[in-house]
Structure 1
Amino acid sequence: MSLQNAYNSVKRALSTAPPNDAYLQWNAPGVEDPKPNEKETAQKIGQTMNKMQQHNFDQHGHAFRATHVKTQGIVKGKLTVQPDLPAHLQQGLFKSPGRVYHIAARYANEPVFLQADQEPGPRGMALRVFNVEGQRLEGADPDATTQDFFFNNAPMIELTDIDTCLEIMELREKYFDSPTKLSAATKLRTDAVKQSAPAMLPNTNMISFSFYTQSAFRFGDYYGHMALFPMLDDMKNHAEKVKSSDSREALRDWLIEYFAEHGAKYEFKIQLGTSPEHHPTENASVVWDKATAPYQTIATIEIPPQNALSAERRTFWEDRMKLSPWDALAEHQPLGSINRLRKIVYEISRKKREAANATPLKTVNSVHEIP
């Protein structure tokens, strides 16, 4: 037994959480607890996001997404469901062990502006899975055959919940042109330590990052957090930090250089929740303890060597692709207020991009539509 496993065993023995395999139904009492004014709050967040999109448009003459503005790489590959997947994990798009899906993914910086890569901060990955079958969520595109997942390189999100999200987004919009003033205002908050956490993330080659959904999703009968863990033999070779003397586009350049010669592989894993107290959906800043919700492998993702950022691929994804965790299978319904607000905010952001760029977004149902 490894030291980490021994440590987790001790934590598990001391925990008051239900047994690790006592998986809770996704719609059990307490899993979600919506507030009565959430739609109004989400509308305010969307309007604030639109203001930040307008700031970017005024500076660059182009409307970007409301967050994850800066594209670093776009790749295609395949997702293979684990051949020996246990019955309790055969849910949603993972219901057929050994099934292979085409996928496409976009690596990006999370901030709401075109951040220089010397600046540390959250990094994200948007993942689209194609040729997905099953009942779709109410309001989802009935003709779509895709499933979107969104990941960041931290297991929690400092935005916490819908009310905190509004407060932080209003600060980011107010001080859009002054990171120094934004930092000063953030430090006055009671959750200042939490809000400063993203700046402490490692600023290294994105190929070395683990990525997390941060928020919870329905997983068939149950609910959980999902994550991607890189399977690199030479991880240490990609741990170099971006230096002040490096290019403003260092992360992009490193990804392009890597995928020109190498492929990537990720383990796709899930933590299944057993209680709202220990594995909450409404407070997305809580990291689920691996001792009480151990990660279980459900698939692998393989990405072959390729041109990770051709001009055609970048402009197609940025200006034609629309993604949403709510345009999805019913068995992977987003949970918690951070996810519920996305249903409204993503649509508001999409309409702003379409109008400002005079370019309609489209439903992309085949990986072959992407250049």
Structure 2
Amino acid sequence: MAETLKETVNSAWTNVKRGLSSAPPNDAYLAWDEPGVETVKPDEQEKIERIKEVMERMQRHNFDRHRHAFRATHVKTQGIVKGQLQVNPDLPEHLRQGIFTEPGKVYDVAARYANEPYLLQRDQEAGPRGLGLKVFGVTGPRLEGVDESITTQDFFWNNAPSIELTDVDTTLEIMSLREKYFDDPAALGRHLKLRTDLVKQHAPYMLPNTNMISHAMYSQSAYRFGDYYGHMGLFPVLDSQKTAEDKVKSDDPASVLSDWLFDYFNGKEAKYEFKIQLGTDPAHHPTEDGSVVWDEATSPYQSLGTITFPAQDSFGQARRVFWEDRMALDGWRGLAAHRPMGSINRLRKGVYPHSKTTRDKINVSKSEDVQSIDEIP
């Protein structure tokens, strides 16, 4: 009864907000290439080059600490799992885009849970958590310059619906501060508090430091979705996930988040509903400012499919080493129908390959476009 009342109140409030908004109707989906959906600043590429240099220096700084090169961000692996993505069998026509073109289709998928920060931290350190997802057996026209023999699609998620790095300009400022105070987090915190966007910069560290299996995950940035564009999300389905909200305590092991994932997957499956918000207006649903949360009143989530990860060993060492040293994920090597959009994603187009090259060079390893889930231990 209480849950029904809550849903009724939420629905009524959503309708009020929708009525007051100047956004176009919910179903007036805007084409991804309409003028104003993306706007590239003239000095963007020069700043991306500077960010690449900053990120490489941080990777080398991590190597000096640990004698191993990691990714530029999402350094700490918490778990790696295999599963399947099933497209909704009754998917409406307007959502049949990209990998979701065929209702009911099933894909193999693999995912890595990780802490987002660029440091190897104890899990007591609050901060954003992420999930990298690779979908296998994907067909269709690729983005420009990508080998048509590649049959995978990569997506990236974090447990906050917005990204505090905002755009290329802000990212350069924040990454420069992180490099300068790499060994002094307290000094970094003090300097972030001097910024006009201090609330935004500290927001990720206010996220609940809880069992990752309970987290909803968000793309944060925009992607083309066939004819349209949108933000995507993964939402826990099972009660066993939703109620696994253990909070990290000061006396827990430094690896408690991976321990909790291991314990969960030791006997239970996990399910996520894959959803999308479609944009109708750049003023309300921007691609260039990743810190803006798209209001569900003007862009409600719509279900695309379900990801299922069966019970398994989520922290097998062979799988961990394979992923950390050989797996390459890059949204810019996917389908044209899922083109990454906005300055945060254009930044990733430069940073991700550079990070991979740096990691491979230092570790004397070779990251690969893994094309079959069977290649992963």
TM-score w.r.t. length of structure 1: 0.99
- Measured in 2, the distance between the counterparts of 1:54 and 1:194 equals 28
Structure 1 segment 39-188 matched on structure 2, within 5 A: 39-188=45-194
Please name the residue that 2:356 is paired with: 350
- Measured in 2, the distance between the counterparts of 1:328 and 1:248 equals 35
Write out per-residue CA displacement over residues 212-250 of structure 1, whole angstroms, 9 at most, x where no aligned residue. Answer: 000000000000000000012134641121000000000
Q: 1:76–1:103: 8 Å Cα contact kept in structure 2?
A: yes
1:366 counterpart (349, 369, 372): 372
2:278 counterpart (272, 280, 292): 272
Correspondence 1:300 to 2:301: no
**Which segments of 5 or more consecutive residues in structure 1 lack a partner in the other structure?**
none
**What root-mean-square deviation, in Å, do the aligned CA atoms of Structure 1 and Structure 2 show?**
0.8
Please name the residue that 1:35 is paired with: 41
Indicate the SS of the match to 2:273. Answer: strand
Q: 1:47–1:348: 8 Å Cα contact kept in structure 2?
A: no
Write out per-residue CA displacement over residues 9-46 of structure 1, whole angstroms, 9 at most, x where no aligned residue. Answer: 11001100000000000000100000112111111111
Please name the residue that 1:189 is paired with: 195
Question: How has the CA–CA distance of structure 1 residues 150 and 236 changed in structure 2, closer, same or farther, with 3 Å as cutoff?
Answer: closer
Identity fraction in percent: 63
Deviation at 1:84, TM superposition (A): 0.3
- Measured in 2, the distance between the counterparts of 1:315 and 1:6 equals 50
**Which segments of 5 or more consecutive residues in structure 2 lack a partner in the other structure?**
1-6
Q: 2:236–2:242: 8 Å Cα contact kept in structure 1?
A: no
Query: What letter matches 1:159 in structure 2?
Result: L
Structure 1 segment 224-243 matched on structure 2, within 5 A: 224-235=230-241, 237-243=243-249
Query: What letter matches 1:84 in structure 2?
Result: D
TM-score w.r.t. length of structure 2: 0.97
- Measured in 1, the distance between the counterparts of 2:329 and 2:14 equals 37
Query: What letter matches 1:145 in structure 2?
Result: T
Query: What letter matches 2:272 in structure 1?
Result: Y
Q: 1:205–1:238: 8 Å Cα contact kept in structure 2?
A: yes
Deviation at 1:115, TM superposition (A): 1.2
Q: 2:214–2:243: 8 Å Cα contact kept in structure 1?
A: no
Please name the residue that 1:339 is paired with: 345
- Measured in 2, the distance between the counterparts of 1:221 and 1:197 equals 33
Q: 2:241–2:270: 8 Å Cα contact kept in structure 1?
A: no
- Measured in 2, the distance between the counterparts of 1:356 and 1:83 equals 46
- Measured in 1, the distance between the counterparts of 2:332 and 2:196 equals 32
Deviates more, 1:110-119 or 1:230-239: 230-239
Write out per-residue CA displacement over residues 152-186 of structure 1, whole angstroms, 9 at most, x where no aligned residue. Answer: 00000000000000000000011111110000010
Indicate the SS of the match to 1:223. Answer: strand
Q: 1:162–1:341: 8 Å Cα contact kept in structure 2?
A: yes
1:205 counterpart (203, 211, 214): 211
Q: 2:89–2:103: 8 Å Cα contact kept in structure 1?
A: yes
Q: 1:137–1:326: 8 Å Cα contact kept in structure 2?
A: yes
Divergent runs of 4+, >4 A? none
Write out per-residue CA displacement over residues 121-166 of structure 1, whole angstroms, 9 at most, x where no aligned residue. Answer: 0000000000000000012233210000000000000000000000
